[in-house]
Amino acid sequence: MLSRSVSLSRSLKIVALGCALLLAGCDRQSEDKAQPQASPAGAAEVGKIDRSHKGSQMPDFQLKDPAGKELNLASLKGKPVLINLWATWCAPCVAELPQLDQLAIDNPAIRVLTVNQDMDKLDKVPAFLAQKGGAKLEPWLNPDNSLTFQFGAETLPATVYYDANGREVWRIVGPREWLDAETKALLAEAK
């Protein structure tokens, strides 16, 4: 019995010592400020036009629609292409769908591609587009988000604009006012 009591006493002392060490580590009285979080190198600033990839070739990339129809991005040369990455769960993405739809209607010389980044419910994308004001937009899918990685997009929506030769003109991360005069001037850069 004495042996068990000594063993229990020793165990309690070890646990108490461990707790004291943990508390001492948590009770740090340092005045040092936390290290500021740095932005990843090359990360685009939300809402700003990024021209750092200007002249880059459009990727040779396959997209599919819910019916299985395929589209190769590299085959789109001949007129400017605006590629918008979006998702149904992204409120800013959904909010700009009606303007992208109107942009596609008003500018037939520009191909507006909306590429959905959802990982599930892909068969519902066409109905979702129609319901949210994007009835004229093509429902292209990229459920593995590989195009997002290709563009280095860390935030949705993300949009990349290519000229008629398939060369990047600019890109933007975050929502945009797609029908204003500034955007019209930006889109005219590819003509």
Least confident segment among 23-27, 128-132, 183-187 = 23-27
- Each domain of the chain, given as residue ranges in start order, spans 49-188
pLDDT band at 71, cuts 50/70/90? Answer: very high
Average pLDDT of span 12-16? 48
Give CA–CA dist 190/31, Å, rounded. Answer: 53
What pLDDT was estimated at residue 164?
96
- Beta-strand pair 49-50/111-116: unpaired
What pLDDT was estimated at residue 27?
39
pLDDT band at 108, cuts 50/70/90? Answer: very high
Give CA–CA dist 54/13, Å, rounded. Answer: 66
Average pLDDT of span 62-88? 93
What pLDDT was estimated at residue 93?
97
H or E segment and range at residue 66: none
Answer with the residue of higher pLDDT: 101 or 4.
101
State the chain's mean pLDDT as an integer: 82
Residues comprising the chain, all counted: 191
Cα angle 104, 150, 81 (rounded to 5 degrees) comes to 20
Question: CATH top-level class for 49-188?
Answer: alpha beta
